[in-house]
Amino acid sequence: MFGDEYPAGLDVYSYVTKTDLRRFTAETQASPSDRIADIGCGRGGPGLWVSAQRNSSLIGIDIAETALESARQRAETLGRADRAEFRLGSFAETGLPAASVQAVMSVDALLFAPDKAAACAELARILVPGGRLVATTWDFHGQPVNRPPQVSDHRPLLEAAGFTVLAYDETEAWRERQLRINELMLQEVDALAAESGEDPVESAAHLKQQRINQDLMTRRVLMVAERR
Ligand SMILES: C[S@@+](CC[C@H](N)C(=O)[O-])C[C@H]1O[C@@H](n2cnc3c(N)ncnc32)[C@H](O)[C@@H]1O
């Protein structure tokens, strides 16, 4: 499914690949004196990896305190605690001052922002002029169930928020990978539910809904935009 592309050891909760992470690292253009913000950082693996590659500092933001706690522990284990902090916040309200970070990254999280235009405006606000946003998310051609409103193309929102879009690339083999993961999880739903303590019927219904939602995805994009 992922093969060599699986970023083993990063404890990711996303579809991010090694190729994506290398691109994040290159495109942030962050230097050792810069700070990268990772919005929707989850358990911190991608942001910690990218910031370590660039030797930059990191501020991870997420709405889930349990994920942030794992991220802090991970930073400690990796010896990066002096260069990384993790705080509660959201796409709408990161809690960061204006022009306070030199790069923003976000892995497979923007689809959860209830208001995509407000999210783009907040990401532009926290970036210094010339700073880079690098993010993966999905464009949709229909509204998925149990998700906030989606958009068919993020580029107009980015431009309106004060970004110049530098790249907007469909990531390789994203659909095959996602469909296969969904299929395998459905096959193993009883064992997975037993392990997580969830109701197998509810888990199966969730996976079937996820499958329907996947059909509404037009593309998974990796976007690079520069704050004007
Ligand atoms: C699919 S996970 C990706 C986590 C991480 N980026 C990774 O690659 O492992 C999506 C993350 O977005 C977070 N999230 C959901 N809604 C959010 C919001 N409105 N603002 C910020 N983060 C949010 C979730 O708590 C979750 O950690």
DSSP alpha helices (H): ranges in 82-199? Answer: 116-126, 155-161, 174-187, 189-196
Place of tokens 């989606």: 150
* Secondary structure class of 138 (helix, strand, coil): strand
Residue 1, pLDDT > 80, answer: no
Q: Are 43 and 107 within 8 A, CB to CB?
A: no
Ligand 1 centre distance from Cα of residue 39 (Å): 7
- For residue 43, the ligand 1 atom closest to its alpha carbon is 9
Kindly state the percentage of the chain with pLDDT values over 90: 98
Task: Supply the DSSP string of 4-47, one letter for each residue.
Answer: GG--TTS---S---HHHHHHHHHHH---TT-EEEEET-TTSHHH
Kindly state the percentage of the chain with pLDDT values over 70: 100
Among protein residues, the one with the nearest Cα to ligand 1's atom 20 is: 90
pLDDT bracket for residue 15 (50, 70, 90): very high
Strands 163-170 and 127-140: unpaired
Residue 3, pLDDT > 90, answer: no
Residue 226, pLDDT > 90, answer: yes
Q: What is the mean pLDDT of residues 198-210?
A: 95
Over the Cα atoms of the chain, what is R_g?
17
- For residue 10, the ligand 1 atom closest to its alpha carbon is 9
CA distance 74 to 137: 24
pLDDT bracket for residue 161 (50, 70, 90): very high
pLDDT bracket for residue 2 (50, 70, 90): confident
Residue 135, pLDDT > 80, answer: yes
Residue 77, pLDDT > 80, answer: yes
Residue 150, pLDDT > 80, answer: yes
- For residue 64, the ligand 1 atom closest to its alpha carbon is 25
pLDDT bracket for residue 39 (50, 70, 90): very high
Q: Which residues does a 6 A CB cutoff place in the pocket of ligand 1?
A: 12-14, 16, 39-42, 45-46, 62-64, 67, 90-91, 107-109, 112-113
Residue 102, pLDDT > 80, answer: yes
- Hey, where are the domains in the chain? 3-173+217-227
- For residue 40, the ligand 1 atom closest to its alpha carbon is 22
pLDDT of amino acid 13: 94
Among protein residues, the one with the nearest Cα to ligand 1's atom 23 is: 40
List all residues 6 or more positions away from 152 whose beta carbon is below 8 Å from its beta carbon. Answer: 139, 140, 141, 218
Going by C-alpha positions, the residue among 101, 4, 84, 6 that lies closest to residue 48 is 84
pLDDT bracket for residue 87 (50, 70, 90): very high
Q: What is the mean pLDDT of residues 138-152?
A: 97
Ligand 1 centre distance from Cα of residue 74 (Å): 17
Among protein residues, the one with the nearest Cα to ligand 1's atom 16 is: 112
CA distance 120 to 115: 9
- Ligand 1 pocket test, pick from 13, 61, 111, 146 with the greatest ligand atom count within 8 Å of Cβ, gives 13
pLDDT of amino acid 123: 98
Q: Read off the tokens for 195.
A: 């392990």
For 3-173+217-227, the fitting CATH number among 3.40.50.300, 3.40.50.740, 3.30.990.10, 3.40.50.150 is 3.40.50.150
Place of tokens 């605690």: 81
